[in-house]
Amino acid sequence: MFDLDKIVRPNIRQLKPYSSARDEFSGSEGIFLDANENPFGQLNRYPDPYQRILKDKIAELKGVVPSKIFVGNGSDEIIDLAFRIFCEPGKDKVLTFTPTYGMYDVSANINNVEVESMPLTPSFEIDLNALRSKLEFGQYRIIFICSPNNPTGNSISTSVIEEIFEKTEGIVIVDEAYIDFSENDSTIKLIQKYSNLIVMQTLSKAWGLAGVRVGLGFANEKIINLFNKVKPPYNVSQLNQEAALKAINNLSKYEEQVATLLKEKEFLLKELGKLESIKKIYPSDTNFLLVEMEDADQTYTRLVEEKIIVRNRNQQVKNCIRITVGTKNENEVLIKTLKTIENEK
Ligand X SMILES: *Cc1c(COP(=O)(O)O)cnc(C)c1O
Task: Between 50 and 101, name the residue whose CB sits nearer to ligand X.
Answer: 101
**Site string (266-295) toward ligand X, x via CB under 6 A:** ------------------------------
Task: Between 179 and 296, name the residue whose CB sits nearer to ligand X.
Answer: 179
Around 107, how many Cα atoms within 13 Å sit in the side-chain half-sphere? 22
Binding of ligand X by 80 (CB under 6 A): no
Report the relative pairing of strands 93-98 and 114-119 from DSSP bridges.
parallel
> How is the beta sheet containing 311-312 ordered, strand by strand?
278-281, 288-293, 320-324, 311-312
The residue sitting closest to ligand X, measured at its beta carbon, is 74
Among 215, 217, 236, 284, binds ligand X (CB under 6 A): 215
Stretch that binds ligand X, among 29-37, 203-211, 246-254, 312-320 (CB under 6 A): 203-211
Provide the 3-class DSSP secondary structure of residue 278.
strand
**Site string (149-188) toward ligand X, x via CB under 6 A:** -x------------------------x-x-----------
CB of 285 to ligand X, least distance (A): 12
- Note if the bond before 148 is cis, omega within 30 degrees: yes
CB of 306 to ligand X, least distance (A): 25
Alpha helices in 168-250 (DSSP H): 221-230, 238-248
Around 269, how many Cα atoms within 13 Å sit in the side-chain half-sphere? 14
- In 3D space, the residue among 173, 192, 217 whose CA is nearest the CA of residue 7 turns out to be 173
Residue 316 is given by DSSP the state T
**For residue 278, what are the β-bridge partners?**
293
Among 76, 92, 180, 264, binds ligand X (CB under 6 A): 76
Binding of ligand X by 204 (CB under 6 A): yes
The sign one gets for the Cα dihedral 227, 232, 235, 237 is positive
Stretch that binds ligand X, among 136-144, 201-209, 238-246, 312-320 (CB under 6 A): 201-209
Name residue 4's amino acid. L
Contact call for residues 28 and 222 (beta carbons, < 8 A): no
Task: Between 8 and 290, name the residue whose CB sits nearer to ligand X.
Answer: 290
Count of residues near ligand X by CB under 6 A: 13
Stretch that binds ligand X, among 90-98, 202-210, 248-256, 257-265 (CB under 6 A): 202-210
CB of 160 to ligand X, least distance (A): 18
- In 3D space, the residue among 173, 168, 169, 205 whose CA is nearest the CA of residue 190 turns out to be 173
CB of 146 to ligand X, least distance (A): 5
CB of 62 to ligand X, least distance (A): 16
Provide the 3-class DSSP secondary structure of residue 97.
strand
What whole-number distance in Å separates Cα of residue 195 and Cα of residue 191?
6
CB of 207 to ligand X, least distance (A): 10
Among 97, 101, 140, 218, binds ligand X (CB under 6 A): 101
- In 3D space, the residue among 279, 286, 268 whose CA is nearest the CA of residue 336 turns out to be 268
CB of 24 to ligand X, least distance (A): 30
CB of 135 to ligand X, least distance (A): 23
Task: Between 230 and 341, name the residue whose CB sits nearer to ligand X.
Answer: 230
Name residue 161's amino acid. I
Rounded to the nearest 5 degrees, what angle is found at the Cα of 153, between the Cα atoms of 122 and 58?
140
User: Which positions touch ligand X (CB under 6 A)?
Assistant: 74-76, 101, 146, 150, 175, 177, 202, 204-205, 210, 215
